[in-house]
Amino acid sequence: MQIFDYEDIQLIPNKCIVKSRSEVDTSIKFGPRTFKIPVVPANMQTIIDEPLAIWLAENDYFYIMHRFTPETRLGFVRDMQDRGLYASISVGVKPEEFQFVEDLAAAKLTPEYMTIDIAHGHSDIVVEMIKHIKRLLPGTFLIAGNVGTPEGVRELENAGADATKVGIGPGKVCITKIKTGFGTGGWQLAALRWCAKAASKPIIADGGIRTHGDIAKSVRFGADMCMIGSLFAGHEETPGKKVKKDGKLYQEYYGSASAYQKNSHHNVEGKKILIPVKGKIGDTLNEMKEDLQSAVSYAGGRNLMGLRKVDYVIVKNSIFNGDQELY
Ligand SMILES: NC(=O)C1=CN([C@@H]2O[C@H](COP(=O)(O)OP(=O)(O)OC[C@H]3O[C@@H](n4cnc5c(N)ncnc54)[C@H](OP(=O)(O)O)[C@@H]3O)[C@@H](O)[C@H]2O)C=CC1
Ligand SMILES: Nc1nc2c(ncn2[C@@H]2O[C@H](COP(=O)(O)O)[C@@H](O)[C@H]2O)c(=O)[nH]1
């Protein structure tokens, strides 16, 4: 297997077949709905909250609500569906989460999307949860993860997952790689390719995306959707706490397995960083769309699938040439 990460790859252009980048269609059908771009903000407490989920759903973007205020989830599903919006929530695998699925079924509420959100998703308990959800809420589009191997993808797909999420430890606030020695950190793009070749259902690339070009690269190597945390942290609408340091405004971005999230020092596998506050998330999403349209035009295509077959070169760690700043 070839080992590489996002920064090691450059895609090779093909003859352009559109007159304007605006002709390029970046939409993606994912589950029962079609979204404007193949991007979803990470289901983390510093990245998504209810007002942002409503805005994303109203504007045809995919969202996945986090699972860290479990008592609000049932009301959230009802509220979204009462507004005519889709509901997309996360669950864990502890006993109370199995009960929560039963509560949803008893209330006759089926979220359009559910995500089993566990650090090490290739496990019997996740298989059990997939079967539990599919038995009680068969109409939900079920995403399961996270995994980092083809075996993990196949086992969760065979258990009934409708999509799998790939990425163990490549995240910006992840310390799994340091604390345990395991994961796809440093070779996430190659792991994505390895997993996507084995997949028979959609794949979400999760973690390690640092530039908009990395979204195009993810699609090239098999992703149907990209989950992104750090690039979204620091926006006006993202809920991380704003803090001032040396006269500058920052927003907190912390891992879901950090001591800040867990209120505990046991099994900590995440950290907190400060991200300079930027503008509106809608502007960033628009810029992502335009950059993807441009990427597809370089690929010689008209839509995202135009990216799938482009050639590439491996240019180990040399793309940025020491020049990482955009402005
Ligand atoms: N994508 C990634 O690389 C990672 C993501 N995260 C994020 O952090 C959050 C917390 O994740 P998680 O700790 O799984 O959730 P939970 O704290 O809900 O734990 C999930 C369950 O799995 C058990 N478990 C067994 N082995 C492991 C293992 N190696 N890692 C974690 N749990 C294990 C836990 O028991 P016990 O706690 O007793 O062991 C617990 O019962 C999630 O949002 C997850 O996405 C965390 C780490 C890596
Ligand atoms: N190892 C850990 N991974 C985590 C934690 N909290 C979240 N995550 C993962 O990171 C991505 C976001 O990655 P980014 O590179 O875009 O910032 C997120 O979707 C999770 O899969 C954690 O505490 N530890």
195 part of the active site: no
Q: Is 92 in the pocket of ligand 1 (CB under 6 A)?
A: yes
Catalytic residue among 56, 64, 89, 174: 174
> From residue 171, how far is each of 35, 38, 166, 257 by CA, in Å?
24, 18, 11, 12
CA of 207 to the centre of ligand 1 (A): 16
Question: Going by CA atoms, what residue is nearest to atom 15 of ligand 2?
Answer: 171
Contact 80, 33 (CB under 8 A): no
pTM: 0.97
Amino acid at 294: S
Strands 163-166 and 141-147: parallel
How far, in Å, CA of 154 to CA of 131, rounded? Answer: 15
pLDDT of residue 327: 58
Ligand 2 pocket: which residues have CB below 6 Å? Answer: 42, 44, 146, 167, 169, 171-174, 176, 206-209, 227-230, 255-258, 269-270
- Residue length of the chain: 327
Q: At what angle do helices 95-106 and 73-82 cross, to 10 degrees?
A: 30
How far, in Å, CA of 73 to CA of 108, rounded? Answer: 14
Exposed/middle/buried for residue 202 (C-beta within 10 Å: 0-12, 13-18, 19+)? buried
CA of 22 to the centre of ligand 2 (A): 32
pLDDT tens sequence across 19-31: 999 999 999 999 9
Residue 251 CB coordination number (10 Å)? 21
DSSP label of 5: -
Ligand 2 atom at shortest distance from the alpha carbon of 270: 23
What does R_g of the chain's alpha carbons equal in angstroms? 19
For each of the chain's 327 residues, which pLDDT tens digit applies?
Answer: 899 999 999 999 999 999 999 999 999 999 999 999 999 999 999 999 999 999 999 999 999 999 999 999 999 999 999 999 999 999 999 999 999 999 999 999 999 999 999 999 999 999 999 999 999 999 999 999 999 999 999 999 999 999 999 999 999 999 999 999 999 999 999 999 999 999 999 999 999 999 999 999 999 999 999 999 999 999 999 999 999 999 999 999 999 999 999 999 999 999 999 999 999 999 999 999 999 999 999 999 999 999 999 999 999 765 565 555 655
- Which ligand is located closest to the Cα atom of residue 267? 1
pLDDT tens sequence across 49-86: 999 999 999 999 999 999 999 999 999 999 999 999 99
Question: Going by CA atoms, what residue is nearest to atom 40 of ligand 1?
Answer: 94
CA of 19 to the centre of ligand 2 (A): 39
Q: Is 176 in the pocket of ligand 1 (CB under 6 A)?
A: yes
CA of 62 to the centre of ligand 1 (A): 24
Q: Is 156 in the pocket of ligand 1 (CB under 6 A)?
A: no
Prior bond of 317 cis (ω within 30°): no
pLDDT tens sequence across 294-323: 999 999 999 999 999 999 999 976 556 555
Strands 203-206 and 33-35: unpaired
Question: Do the annotations mark residue 217 as ligand-binding?
Answer: yes
Question: Going by CA atoms, what residue is nearest to atom 29 of ligand 1?
Answer: 120
Mutate to test the pocket of ligand 1, among 48, 115, 118, 173 (most ligand atoms within 8 A of CB): 118
Give the list of residues 6+ apart from residue 110 with CB closer than 8 angstroms, or none.
104, 137, 139, 140
Question: Going by CA atoms, what residue is nearest to atom 35 of ligand 1?
Answer: 94
Which helix (H) or strand (E) segment is 314 a member of?
strand 312-314
CA of 168 to the centre of ligand 1 (A): 11
Query: How would you write 146-170 as a 3-class SS string?
Result: EECCHHHHHHHHHHCCCEEEECCCC
